[in-house]
Structure 1
Amino acid sequence: MTVGVVRGRRGRQRAAGAVLSTALLCVGAVACGGSDDKSDNAGESGRTQSRSQVTDVITAAYKKTSAAKSAKVKMTMSTPPGEMGKAMGGAGEMKMTGVMGWDPTVMDVTVSGSALTEGDPEAPEKVRMLWSDNVMYMDMGAKAAKDMDGKRWVKMDLNAIAKQAGDDKLAKQMTGGLDSMNQDPAQQLAMLLDSPNLKHLGSAKVDGAQTQRYKGRLTVKEMMESNDGLKDLLSKSEREQLFKNVEKSGIKGYDTEVWVNEDDYPVRMDIDIKTPEGTVKTSQTFSDYGSATKVTPPQAGDTFDMMKMFEELGKLGKGGSGGGTDSAF
């Protein structure tokens, strides 16, 4: 294999690895969606509501949020070091701001934070991520563009990747995964309704607005049973295996707090996942429900197709013109 081919291949491998790790982080940030500050005035209590009243409020919030289909979002997620940090793509803090929509999934967000560069100092410090028609586009920055024909945008069509692999089951999981990846506030509220200990914590102000604060806890098993998306993606035996794997990780459950304003919209949602290595904290604030979420993909001339990169690495892995049998990764 010639020196030029080797360098080109290494560049492609480096770019592919950076893209995949960044995609994992971005997807993790979107899918999990805390800080220790629970509100501007968390001590303000007010009259506690009964369980039936709580159910009515959260149900109303679910209906309003489902109908809105989109909102502006700001999110902060912190992940402790250790195995959990590795599983999420990197420990540290992640921030996300932008607009996201659900039913169908669409988004235009910017992800930043120490978790992006924790495992790779060459990784971009921030990534703009677009999601449209089940395809993700990521602006990987000028450094990555050097290994991608000068193109800083990467296109990842996971459906196409799965189909190219010839795995119908994987393709189905990818399709379902794209639909359920965006854990929008409506889905979170629906799962919160299944919490057996859902309760009202009183009134509180969030960004100056009066809200009512609620909290519920779901065990791993309860969460999985509430998540209809898992039933579409995985067989019963696969769900049982996933449950066992999560149990082995030491995760006991999910604590969710939500602040609902006077218009029945959730304006803040915190999710804490306690692990033996520390707590994964996610805090999201929502505003401007019903905001326009039309996403315009980058020009094809500015985009590097990840599928083509995989195909190219596969050919290079066969030794190119100079022999050799190294694999692409």
Structure 2
Amino acid sequence: MKTSVRGSARRRAAGAGLAALALAGGAVGCAKGDDESPAMEPAAAVAKAAKNAETITSFRYTMTGKVPDAGRVNGEAAMSVKPPAMSMKITAQDKGADGKVEIRLVDKAMYIGGGAQAAKEMDGKSWIKFDMSALGADKQLNPAQLGAGQADQNPATESTFLTGSKDVKKVGTETVDGVKTTHYQGNVTLDELEASLKGKDKATRKTREKSIAQYEKMGVDSLVMDMWIDGDDHTKKFRMRGDADKGPLDMTITFLDINKPVTVTAPPAKDTVDLAEMMKDASGAES
């Protein structure tokens, strides 16, 4: 039975990675602007929105699209940057009963829930807890495999990537979720993204290099990026497309609000299995 539970844990961890992947590729948006972004050169408009994204401390958003090796996904999430916290519900539409995953990041612990389907495989408990400070001790289950290294990442980082493009252009004006916006688009390679880090401060370089590394691991060489900017010079919607080793990447994130309180609570202990204890028990049973 414990070996089966361990296998279930690995499948749930993989689901977490899909959800965390969907996090990457967004810009922080604001829904209060009444008009599209003021008229200015496309590159300047994108740079201003990217600069504003750096000051965001919390946000809510929806996501939809395709991710490599998972197919169609959609979901919704709320995230606090300071202090780090996150709540996400995501569905991999092509994965059937195993496609629904909920993730919560609270007090340096990540919880992954699979609802009733997971409860059937884990003695009635529907959540798995990962202590992020302890992850990586077992080489067979490291943070990268779990997606834990991405789960607490600020999606606003990717909004700055369009500033690395040399061909940003204005596509037109559109209304997104009731907000008037200006639509911009550009192509950017990973080499251009890395070159754009020149002159940035150490903290900014570290954050952006971490995001760039994700695309490198996916086998993405370049991205087509779209950004919809509102009248307050914030990104309201963001889309990223690219070809990865395991399939197409095409994610659209629409932001609902910014800088409003985000409260995330841990699941009830009675419904939670601690991965560290699970792995310890499984190791003992196999020895």
TM category (shorter chain) comes to 0.7 to 0.9
Q: Give the number of aligned pairs.
A: 267
Q: CA deviation at 1:130?
A: 1.0
With over 3 angstroms needed to count, the CA separation of the structure-2 counterparts of 1:299 and 1:177, relative to structure 1, is: closer
Aligned equivalents of 2:208, 2:280: Cα separation in 1: 30
> Which of 274, 277, 291 does residue 243 from structure 2 map onto?
274
Specify the SS of the correspondent of 1:307: helix
Q: 1:128 aligns with which of 86, 92, 102?
A: 102
Larger Rg: 1
Residue equivalent to 2:254: 285
The residue that corresponds to 2:206 in the other structure is: 228
Q: Determine whether 1:214 maps to 2:193.
A: no
Counterpart of 2:57, as a letter, is K
Q: What's the TM-score, normalizing by structure 1? A: 0.69
Residue 60 (structure 2) aligns with: 72
> In the superposition, relative to structure 1, how do residues 212 and 136 fare at CA in structure 2: closer, same or farther (>3 Å)?
same
Q: Per-residue CA shift, 1:177-209, capped at 9, x if unaligned? A: 747853513x12322212222222232222332
Change beyond 3 A, Cα 1:132–1:277: closer
Q: Do residues 316 (structure 1) and 285 (structure 2) align?
A: yes
Asked whether the 8 Å contact 2:20–2:151 carries over to 1, the reply is no
1:140-188 Cα deviation digits (max 9, x unpaired): 11232233332111111232122x3499xx78x89x9747853513x12
Deviations 1:197-248 (A, max 9, x none): 22222322223321111112221223355463365799xxxx7xx95x76xx
Which structure has more RCO (C-alpha within 8 Å, separation ≥ 6)? 2
Which one of 81, 84, 102 corresponds to residue 102 of structure 1? 81
Please identify which structure carries the higher strand content. Answer: 2
Query: What's the offset of the Cα at 1:285?
Result: 0.3
Paired position in structure 2 for 1:254: 223
Corresponding residue to 2:155 among 168, 184, 192:
184
Greater helix share, structure number? 1
* Equivalent residues of 2:168, 2:184 under 8 A apart: yes
Decide which of 45, 68, 85 is 1:57's aligned counterpart.
45
**1:56-93 Cα distance to aligned partner (Å, 9 max, x none):** 323332343332322220101213xxxx41xxxx2x21
- Any idea what SS the aligned residue of 2:167 has? coil
Tell me the equivalent position of 2:174: 204
Task: Answer yes or no: is the 8 Å Cα contact 1:104–1:179 preserved in 2.
Answer: no
**Does the CA contact (< 8 Å) of 1:134 and 1:178 recur in 2?**
no
Q: Distance in 2 between matches of 1:94 and 1:263?
A: 29
Question: Kindly tell me: are residues 283 and 309 of structure 1, through their superposed partners in 2, closer, same or farther at Cα, counting changes over 3 Å?
Answer: same
TM-score (norm 2): 0.78
Q: Structure 2: which 5+ runs fail to align? A: 27-35, 198-204
Q: State how far apart, in whole Å, the 2-side matches of 1:277 and 1:98 are.
A: 25
Residue ranges of structure 1 left out of the alignment (5+ in a row): 1-7, 34-44, 319-329
Letter in 2 for 1:100: M
